[in-house]
Amino acid sequence: MELAREAEEPPGSPALPAEEPQGGHPTGAPAADGPVPSAAGRGRCRRGAGPKGPPGRAVRGRGRRAPGRRGGEEGGRAVRRPRVTVDSSKAKTSLEALKISLRQLHWREYPFGRRLPCDIYWHGVSFHDNNIFSGQVNKFPGMTEMVRKVTLSRAVRTMQDLFPLEYNFYPRSWILPEELPLFVDEVRMMKDSDPSWKPTFIVKPDGGCQGDGIYLIKDPSDIRQTGSIQSRPAVVQEYICKPLLVDKLKFDIRLYVLLKSLEPLEIYIAKDGLSRFCTEPYQEPTLKNLHQVFMHLTNYSLNIHSGNFIHSDSVNTGSKRTFSSILCRLSSRGADVKKLWSDIISLVIKTIIALTPELKVYYQSDIPAGKPGPTCFQILGFDILLMKNLKPMLLEVNANPSMRIEHEQELSPGVFENVPSPVDEEVKVAVIRDTLRLMDPQNKKRKDIQSGALPCLSNCLCYLFPGHQGSDLCQDGPSQRLRNKCQTSEHVSEANEDLLDIGPADGPEHETTRTLEPELPSLCLKQVFPKYAKQFNYLRIVDRVAALFIRFLGVKGTTKLGPTGFRTFIRNCKLSNSNFSMACVDILYIDITRRRNGMGMDHRESGMCLQAFVEAFFCLAQKKYKSLPLHQQVTLLIDFCEYQLAVLDEKRRAVCHADGPHLTPATHPSLLGRSASASKLSDYRNHR
Ligand code: ADP
């Protein structure tokens, strides 16, 4: 536990001492458990060869085969097992890193696709790159839409309404054009109440990337009111004026996060990421320097065009460095990197909790329960800015983070060549390779056999981090009741540990992986959920609203609720009464749906989207349970609805049984946990 030790040893002050000169050698202990410093001499993955041994030569042992196992490891020697097949025909710019990973794993690549199904499909862009009916694909349906600037801001806003303190890691944002008047009013009010407040805002077009179309303003009246603001929505956000600087430069962090499964929720974070630097010394924004992109925007794609950009062979100098090298440096200055890492884990988990409800709606629409389809996983790129006080702030989430491991270099004037980028290779190959290791279908099978088919497959790859005790942040909170059934005893067994523990994956599960792949380094991806489920489950209430929404969607394949579906929801949950007639229900539906659709976000399908349903649900909750905090009102209404539906399901089941044993109750296969009505009923009764 190097990181833990590191955090115990230094003076541990969050305020940073003065900058050390550039190139100063970090003296902090290597953070082997968290992001690992990439000190020279650490084994780097070389192209074309595994970490040890020549390329393409699988190490095959002659050990006895264990009874009942098709492949595996005996006495430290690998046993022949069917090679995992990967379709890389759509990998696009991630192809190079993928190829290296597959070589290291000795898996079989199909660069032009395959007539037979593959185990894994690696897509460069989106879930819809192909028609796939089995195996695993590295994209979730709807993810690209979900992480667009406007959608992400809305999803986080919903969570900020419910849990303002927990979600204060996202800058205050307004959605344009619809919230322009609100933005103008709020800024005027804040300026009136504090005349010394001299804010700066950053305007970011929706769906933009690589800094495209981004500009800074000092006043709402500076928003460029061209035709484009109407046709292309944008987010305007409070600009973080006091970022942490290294070598006097602003930088941001790109962290790689694996969403391994949506239900049950499984999240892994890569121990190392990248830090992308600006190329001009930072100054707080003034009217004079607002337009200086090399000072204010950290995008690699912009700064590479600056004359000051430094390509570096080393991982701790230059304009792109490993995050671990930054942590080392901070640690040597006495910063509390242990707390920083814990805050980052918390930011990642909370952000994904904000995204999951809508992702589940997309999922059931694209892969309805019962229809053949692949299972999904996805590597996300989290862009995080550190404030001067070391607080991490979320800038955005990328559904398709660049996995390129080379960059273009001008060798002589006008002559360009793609040259390898050691920093990118070091971080990205490890992320792809270890994602594949975690998704290895044979691990799943093996684990099923060993455990006698666990009800919850996610358990297969949980790491157990033994021996750490810490604060349980939410022991008395509502998390107990809200805890997903699937994640109870097995998954939360380790949840008493605090978020600071990112120790090596040396539990029994890891042992299995390590002995099966003797040549590979330990996994760079660390599980953070369900490992820390107990601390965060109380935040997952919109997930439960989404489960209600999905139940009433009716026809499979849709993402929007029609007026009839909404009425059925109200009726089945017994939400209408003399004070709230069905006519009021219709008005509520029309009001919210018209306003949402008027925002011009999605005209493809008419009806009520999840975010509109959530708004309606919050309205109903406020009506029914006045004068409580919003999250309590919403939780009470969810409990009430789930109870009513459980009663209804029980009645239906009783009718079915009365009709004869050949009739089975109309329960859903529960891909997204939409039934489980009996347990909801007893939960509610116990709770009451
Ligand atoms: P893009 O998808 O175009 O890269 P980002 O949201 O990542 O858009 O913003 C681009 C860059 O602008 C970021 O890398 C960061 O350097 C800067 N930036 C974005 N939002 C803020 C903010 N609220 N405060 C300070 N800097 C920001």
How far, CA to CA in Å, does 628 sit from each of 162, 588, 622, 634, 637?
A: 12, 22, 8, 10, 12
State the helix-helix crossing angle for 323-332 and 337-366, rounded to 10 degrees: 150
The pLDDT of residue 367:
85
Which residues' Cβ are closer than 6 Å to ligand 1?
Answer: 171, 202, 204, 208-212, 214, 237, 239-240, 252, 297-299, 383, 385, 395-396
The protein residue whose alpha carbon is closest to atom 23 in ligand 1 is 239
Which pLDDT score is estimated for 82? 83
As given in the structure block, the two tokens for residue 408 are: 């273009």
User: According to the model, what pLDDT value does residue 578 have?
Assistant: 85
Q: What is the rounded average pLDDT for all residues in the chain?
A: 77
Q: Which two tokens stand for residue 371?
A: 């229809």
pLDDT score for 679? 54
Q: Which of 370-379, 426-435, 516-525 has the lowest mean pLDDT?
A: 516-525
For residues 74 and 570, which has the higher predicted lDDT (pLDDT)? 570
Nearest to 37 by CA among 314, 249, 256: 314
How many whole angstroms from 617 Cα to the centroid of ligand 1?
Answer: 33
Instruction: Select from 2, 35, 4, 29 the least CA-distant residue to 468.
Output: 4
**Res 26 pLDDT > 60:** no
Judged against a pLDDT cut of 60, whether residue 655 lies above it is answered with: yes
Alpha helices per DSSP H over 553-600? 563-572, 582-598
Report which ligand 1 atom has the smallest distance to the Cα of 239. Answer: 24
pLDDT attached to residue 415: 81
Contact between 617 and 634 under an 8 Å Cβ cutoff? The reply is: yes
Mutational pocket test of ligand 1: of 244, 253, 293, 297, the residue with most ligand atoms within 8 Å of the beta carbon: 297
Question: Per the structure block, which two tokens stand in for 384?
Answer: 């995080």
Residue 360: pLDDT band (50, 70, 90) is very high
Amino acid identity at 88: S
Is residue 55 predicted with pLDDT exceeding 70? no
What is the predicted pLDDT for the residue at 226? 61
What is the average per-residue pLDDT within 355-367?
94
Q: By three-state DSSP, how is residue 445 classified?
A: helix
Mean pLDDT, range 238-244, rounded to an integer: 98
| 28-42, 117-131, 255-269: which is most confident | 255-269
Does position 4 have pLDDT exceeding 70, yes or no? Answer: no
pLDDT class for 208, splitting at 50, 70, 90? confident
Q: Identify the pLDDT of residue 68.
A: 35
Tokens, residue 45: 């993955």
Of 43-47, 237-241, 428-432, 513-517, the one with minimum mean pLDDT is 43-47
Rounded mean pLDDT of 343-349? 98
Residue 470 in this model has a pLDDT that exceeds 80: no
Distance from residue 170's CA to the centre of ligand 1 (Å): 12
Tell me, in angstroms, the distance from the centre of ligand 1 to residue 71's CA. 47
Buried b (16+ CB within 10 A) or exposed e, 641-655: bbbbbbbebeeebee
- Ligand 1 centroid distance, CA of 347 (Å): 17
pLDDT in tens, 531-557: 999 999 999 999 999 999 999 997 667
Separation of alpha carbons 399 and 353, rounded Å: 16
User: Taking residues 319-327, what's their average pLDDT?
Assistant: 95
Q: Any idea which residue has 């806003």 for tokens?
A: 157
Give the closest residue (by CA) to ligand 1 atom 9.
Answer: 211
Q: How far apart are CA 614 and CA 606, in angstroms?
A: 17
243: exposed, middle or buried (Cβ count in 10 Å: 0-12, 13-18, 19+)? buried
Angle at 448 (CA atoms; ends 446, 453), nearest 5 degrees: 165
pLDDT at res. 494: 37
Q: Residue 156: what pLDDT? A: 98
Give residue 603's pLDDT. Answer: 53
Partner residues linked to 237 by β-bridges = 173, 202
Give the Å distance between the CA of 291 and the centre of ligand 1.
14
| Residue of 147, 168, 204, 209 to test ligand 1 pocket, by largest number of atoms within 8 Å of CB | 204
* Residue 454: alpha-carbon gap to chain centroid: 25
The pLDDT tens digits of the residues spanning 392-406 come to: 999 999 999 999 999
pLDDT value of residue 353: 98
Q: Decide: helix, strand or coil at residue 384.
A: strand
DSSP annotation string for 388-404: TTS-EEEEEEESS----
Task: Give me Rg for the CA atoms of the chain.
Answer: 26
**Residue 414 confidence class, pLDDT cut points 50, 70, 90:** confident
- Indicate whether 487 pLDDT > 50: no
| pLDDT score recorded for residue 686 | 53
C-alpha 551: how far from chain center = 25
pLDDT at 416: 80
- pLDDT for 663 beyond 50: no
Region 124-134 average pLDDT: 75
Mean pLDDT of 79-98: 88
Which of 33-47, 281-295, 407-421, 545-559 has the largest mean confidence? 281-295
Q: Name the band, by pLDDT with cuts 50, 70 and 90, for residue 499.
A: low
| Phi (first) and psi of residue 598, to 5 degrees | -65, -20
Give CA–CA dist 385/395, Å, rounded. Answer: 7
Of 129, 364, 158, residue with least CA distance to 262: 364
Using 50, 70 and 90 to split pLDDT, how confident is the model at 419? confident
The pLDDT value recorded for residue 446 is: 66
CA distance 153 to 499: 25
For residue 75, give the 3-state DSSP assignment.
coil
The DSSP 8-state label assigned to residue 175 in this structure reads E
What pLDDT score was predicted for residue 217? 96
Is residue 492 pLDDT above 60, yes or no? no
**pLDDT tens by residue, 218-239:** 999 999 866 555 567 999 999 9
Whole-prediction pTM value? 0.79
Which secondary-structure segment (H or E) carries 687?
helix 677-687
Instruction: State how far the alpha carbon of 575 is from the alpha carbons of 611, 612, 637, 678, in Å.
Output: 19, 17, 9, 21
Statement: residue 100 has pLDDT above 90:
yes
The answer to whether 548 and 641 have CB atoms below 8 angstroms apart is yes
Residue 494 CA to residue 489 CA, distance in Å, equals 9
Residue 591: its pLDDT value, please?
93
CA of 204 to the centre of ligand 1 (A): 8
pLDDT of residue 522: 93
pLDDT of residue 620 exceeding 90, the answer is: yes
Atom of ligand 1 nearest to the CA of 398: 2
Q: Of all protein residues, whose CA lies closest to atom 11 belonging to ligand 1? A: 297
Ligand 1 centre and the CA of 211: distance in Å?
7
Q: Exposure string (b/e) for 373-388, b if CB count within 10 Å is 16 or more?
A: bbbbbbbbbbbbbbee
Check residue 92 and report its DSSP letter.
Answer: G
For strands 120-123 and 136-137, give the pairing: parallel
* Atom of ligand 1 at shortest range from CA of 212: 3
Residue nearest to atom 18 of ligand 1 (CA): 297
Pairwise pLDDT comparison (303 vs 229), residue with the higher score = 303
Measured on CA atoms in the order 92, 93, 94, 97, is the torsion positive or negative? positive
Residue 558: per-residue pLDDT: 87
pLDDT at 308 over 70: yes
Helix (H), strand (E), coil (C) string for 273-319 = CEEEECCCCCCCCCCCCCCCHHHHCCCHHHHCCCCCCCCCCCCCCCC
- For tokens 């399908």, name the residue: 605
Nearest alpha-carbon partner for 344 in 98, 31, 631, 44: 31
Q: Give me the residues paired with residue 258 across strands.
A: 268, 379
pLDDT at residue 227, rounded to an integer: 55
CA gap 493, 533 in Å, rounded: 10
pLDDT at 150 over 80: yes
**What pLDDT, on a 0 to 100 scale, did the predictor assign at position 447?**
63
pLDDT tens digit sequence for 365-392? 888 777 778 899 999 999 999 999 999 9
CA of 208 to the centre of ligand 1 (A): 11
Q: Which atom of ligand 1 is nearest to the CA of 171?
A: 23
Please list, residue by residue across 461-477, b when 16 or more beta carbons sit within 10 angstroms of its beta carbon and e when fewer do.
Answer: bbbbbeeeeeebbbeee
Closest CA to 592 of 563, 570, 572: 563
